[in-house]
Amino acid sequence: MSEKTDFFDEIIDEKTVEKISEDFPVLSDEEKERIFSAVERKLNIDNAVNTDHSEEVSGVEEYIRPRWLNFISVAASAAVLFGGIGGSLCLMHNMKNGISEDPTPEVTSESVSSPAETPFVSVNADNAAEKDINSVPKTIKAVNDKPAEKAEGNAFISPAVAVVSSDNDETSAEEQATVPVSVSDINEAEPDESAEIIQIDEPITTAVTAVSRESIQTTAVMSTYDYEKLVDTAEKIIDDYDSIRNITDLNLPVIEGSNITVIREMMTPSGDGVYNRMLEYGQVDPDIYSDMQSLKESFYAVMCSSVIENEFFGDVSYSGFSSENIVVDHEYSYITYDGKLYRLLGKEEHELEPLHDKRVVVYNVSEFAFTAEKNYVDLTDGSIVKVKFGIVRDYKANKWSLLNVLKD
């Protein structure tokens, strides 16, 4: 090896190397192929690596929006637009109708034709003064044109007033008279004024009806301005009235030889407070009826009972139970309903049969009361008789109640 260094261990210039390579090529074909394969292999690897990172992206891909999407968009927009417009118009129309449907109490008036036949008067005081008082001696004014004021005064003034029958006994005149009365009047009536003692010498007949309590008690209607509801309410009350009025053939338990003293409040108002309230609202003409007694003498209640709870006779008058000190006037018919004693009717002159094919007509509607009118057939002579029912609102019991009945 020392000999090797003797020749070429020194630095050899490029020109000498070039000459050596040219004059003495050393690489065999096998060596060339091996080295070139290594070059190609490295080059391919390098190209592959560079290819991964040398991708070029050019141009912009254009998004083509489908045409049907445009139609759908237009259709959806149109639907929303027209839906909004239509909804707005419908809403405006409904609101307009709602405002126009604001209920207005119907105010009707009736002219006075005869004091005996037409006890309802709806004229004001001036008009009433112009009329011939002598020709209408027994007329009271029913204030119908100011329901709001009545409501504020918490005093219902019924347009229906019964006419006193001249055939009644004088002893029962006070009980037979019925005047328009408000619920408050009834509630506020003092026991001394309203309590009556009815004595009966003969055995009384009591009837137990098959009518349920719910049917006789009127349905409470929240809205007093709904005419249809008022008609339905009136029909139910009138049906209850008819069912009670026509009880004649039932086998009622007889309490023989007993004296029943009714100590509970009768529904017939008789106090001066009621009369004064009627004067206050112009319901009664003081020139004609100077006091409550004269008013009672002029009218007769077709039905004096009411379904108001505090006007029941009470538990002391159970059917079949003979309670002492309870005196019942024989001039009235009494029934027991739901275990309680009711005064049913006074003496009726005529036997009436209701016409069920015609609906009840409601008028004189106020917040607290209205008048219902129904036609009946008088079986005695076949004539048509109009019966008017005064129906009042009992807010305490949250129901409508029958106040009084008038035959036209």
Partner 1 sequence: MQVTDKELRAKMKKSPAEGRRAFFDEYCNYVYAIVINKLRSCCSREDVEECVSDVFLDFFRSFDTIGKRNEELKGFIGVIAKRRAIDMYRRLSKGMGKTVSIDDDDFEEIASSENVAREAEKTARNELLLKKVHELGEPDSTIIIQQYYYNRTTLEIGKAISMTAAAVQKRSVRARKRLRSMLTEIGVSI
Q: Which residues bind partner 1 (CB under 8 A)?
A: 3-4, 6-28, 31-32, 34-36, 38-40, 42-43, 46
> If DSSP codes are grouped into helix, strand and coil, which group holds residue 96?
helix
- Find out whether 254 and 203 touch, Cβ atoms under 8 Å: yes
Q: 406 phi and psi, to 5 degrees?
A: -130, 130
Smallest Cα–Cα separation from 305: which of 313, 317, 296? 313
Please state the closest distance from residue 59 (CB atom) to partner 1, in A: 25
In the three-class reduction of DSSP (H, G, I as helix; E, B as strand; rest coil), residue 56 is classed as coil
Q: Within 119-269, where are the H helices?
A: 125-130, 147-152, 173-176, 183-188, 191-194, 213-216, 227-245
Q: Distance between CA atoms of 128 and 148, rounded to whole angstroms?
A: 22
Shortest spacing between CB 35 and partner 1, in angstroms:
5
Residue where the block lists tokens 């003979």: 322
Is the CB of 45 or the CB of 76 nearer to partner 1?
A: 45
Least distance CB 57 / partner 1 (angstroms): 22
Residue 365, both tokens:
């509607």
Q: Which is nearer to partner 1, 38 or 92 (CB)?
A: 38
User: On the CB side of 2, how many CA atoms lie within 13 Å of its CA?
Assistant: 0
Of 19 and 96, nearer to partner 1 (C-beta) is 19
Which of 32/356 has CB closer to partner 1?
32
Nearest CB to partner 1, comparing residues 29 and 62: 29
Return the number of the residue (46 or 214) whose C-beta is nearest partner 1. Answer: 46
- Return the number of the residue (1 or 64) whose C-beta is nearest partner 1: 1
Q: What is the distance between the alpha carbons of residues 329 and 110, in angstroms, rounded to a whole number? A: 35
Ramachandran quadrant class, 325 (left: phi over 0; alpha: psi -120 to 50; beta: rest): left
Specify the residue, 36 or 395, whose C-beta has the smaller distance to partner 1: 36
Q: Based on C-alpha coordinates, what's the Rg of the chain?
A: 52
Residue 372, H or E segment: strand 369-378
Neighbour count for residue 214 (Cβ, 10 Å): 11
CA neighbor of 391 nearest in space, from 196, 195, 217, 174? 217
Nearest residue (CB) to partner 1, 8 versus 395? 8
Coil vs helix vs strand at 376: strand
End-to-end CA distance of the chain: give it in Å, rounded: 159
Longest dimension (CA), the chain: 175
Residue 72: which residues within 8 A CB-CB, separation 6 or more?
A: none
Pick the closer one to partner 1 by CB: 6 or 126.
6
Q: Which tokens hold the place of 300? A: 């007769």
